[in-house]
Amino acid sequence: MKHLPVAIAQLNFTVGDVDRNVDKMLAACNKARTELACKVVIFPELAVTGYPPEDLLFRSDFLDRADRGLARLLVEAGDICVVVGHPFREDGKLYNAASVVESGQVRARYFKRKLPNYGVFDEKRYFSPGTDTLVIDIDGFAIGLTVCEDVWHQRPVADCVAAGAEVIFNLNASPFDVHKAREREEQIVVGRSREAAVPIIYVNLVGGQDELVFDGGSFACDATGQVVHRSTFFSEDLARIDIHQGSLGSNRELAPLPRHEESVYEALRIGLRDYVTKNGFDGVALGLSGGIDSALTLAVAADALGPDKVQAVLMPSRYTRDMSLADAKAQAQALGVTTQVIPIESLVEAYRTQLEPLFKGLPVDTTEENLQARIRGNLLMAISNKTGCLVLTTGNKSEMAVGYATLYGDMAGGFAVIKDVPKTLVYQLARYRNRSRVVIPERVITRPPSAELAEDQADTDNLPPYEVLDPILEDFIEHDCSIEEIAAKGFDLPTVSRISQMVLRNEHKRRQAPPGVRITRRAFGRDRRYPITSGFS
């Protein structure tokens, strides 16, 4: 009986670091050959350059480097058959390509047919679509080649089967969101394999790249849609799949699909870790207030980088409650994170004194509150400049949506870990993190949230409870529902109207916010692109 052992290489690449990416692939080829006894190794989409290269693809010197990287892989991979994604120029066009290389020769090359141009994807900006189907004989098996989006459509897979494909290889760079892992298997790929009655081997990228996190979870399903292999999520993996006539096999147990809170927490952790390490920062610093948002951010940072790479700065003012300081110190101690305390009241008073002639006769308002936030932002940025650490902002998606954040204050920093996490999910993630070991004090989770920029201040002074706010925001931001449609679900119409106006009015703030991990289907930035100047209301 025919038999083909195939290695699926779920690796973490860095965009633009072609040499290191090729080094990782060569190491995987060697391991696949010597330790797993495989004849074929499959790498993810655009593995040579990393994904997404974005406007680097407009540079001829970048594409030249990618060509040299592919040429080195061709020569040094040896006699193992390699299936690898890379950009490729031909007849004045650029393609998202996948090549089959073996023993120093390119045996075949496929151009991605279905180019996604929605959400975070801009592939039509860079690539031309392919038109041809590729089925190639590899050691006696007819293998159909597809790239990512191709397998989400009926035609490319059906064309492969019509051309005689016995198995489909699918190279992916599929970014994480809270629904994606199950959707890949249950609604699309498994459905496609059943529809076409053909096994599919799905190889995904893993790791963080700017706002995007790729969660891995590569898998293989047989012609009935039964998943026979699933790689781990959020970590590199090299696994063996055995192709037999009419079936696939794996010698591993299926890695489980992660639960909701687990998957989000891991995405935040990996996204932060890779942003810091791939950009060469020495560590991170953040303002630790004793509130839930900075508490969750601190926990993610310590888990991602290790407590020795994290510095927590407590910056109390006259409005900071004693319990906030106590809780902040307790959490830092529980995580083993170093803390610094910098009281800001004297700085606030200095600002007030200098501004008093200009503000004479004007009432106290949010200006004085924002001064405190901006002083804290200045202190953190000074620490960053002096030490080389990256400042983490701690605002959540609910706050960013309605503008409950201060420009050049608590928005000042280099990376916004939880900027796409709604407030209600922040609480869920805090409880999730405490399951293994309590590091976030219970009082931080249960006390009413407050910015502590004024006497007896609470978030609900200006906002509805987050249990009401978050569903309204989800409908308005992620589903583009009208005010009337949202109110028809049982929400108060004036409240919905006010919240929607707050979202639209604060686009200018979000445009100036640092990048952060994307976990939802409609994150601010790459996904949701609204004009700042607009007459729409």
How many angstroms separate the CA atoms of 468 and 473, rounded?
9
Q: Is 104 left (phi over 0), alpha (psi -120 to 50) or beta?
A: left
Residue 74 and residue 9 share a domain: yes
Do residues 126 and 240 share a domain? Answer: yes
pLDDT tens digits for range 267-308? 999 999 999 999 999 999 999 999 999 999 999 999 999 999
Q: Does some domain include residue 354?
A: yes
368 and 398 part of one domain? yes
Maximum pairwise Cα distance, the chain: 91
- Co-location of 243 and 328 in the same domain: no
Same domain (yes/no): 58, 179:
yes
Q: Hunting for tokens 């106290």 — which residue is that? A: 364
Which of 258, 288, 321 is a domain's end point? 258
Here the tokens at position 32 are: 């696949």
- Kindly state whether residue 204 falls inside one of the protein's structural domains: yes
Q: Is 117 exposed, middle or buried (0-12, 13-18, 19+ CB in 10 A)?
A: exposed
22, 54 contact by CB (below 8 A): no
Domain around 439: 262-459
Closest CA to 134 of 104, 173, 95, 103: 95
| 409 occurs within a structural domain | yes
Residues labelled as active-site residues:
45, 112, 148
If asked whether residues 493 and 389 sit together in one domain, one would say: no
Question: What per-residue confidence (pLDDT) applies to 451?
Answer: 64
Rounded-to-integer distance, Cα 154 and Cα 160, Å: 10
Locate 146 and state its tokens.
């597809």
Query: Does residue 528 belong to any structural domain of this protein?
Result: no
- For residues 72 and 237, give the distance between their C-alpha atoms in angstroms, rounded to a whole number: 23
477 and 379 in a common domain: no
Q: Which of 44, 50, 75 is nearest to 62 (CA)?
A: 50
Which residues are bridge partners to 10 per DSSP? 237
Low-confidence residues of the chain: pLDDT under 70 = 1, 451-461
CATH number, position 24? 3.60.110.10
Is there a single domain that holds both residue 230 and residue 88? yes
Q: Which amino acid is at 449?
A: P
Q: Is residue 534 one of the residues assigned to a domain?
A: no
Note the pLDDT of residue 94: 97
Judge if 246 and 347 occupy the same domain: no
Asked if the structure places residue 537 within a domain, the reply is no
Provide the domain count of the chain.
Answer: 3
Answer yes or no: do 214 and 240 share one domain. yes
Q: Do 235 and 300 belong to one domain?
A: no
**Does residue 252 share a domain with residue 314?**
no
Any domain includes 333? yes
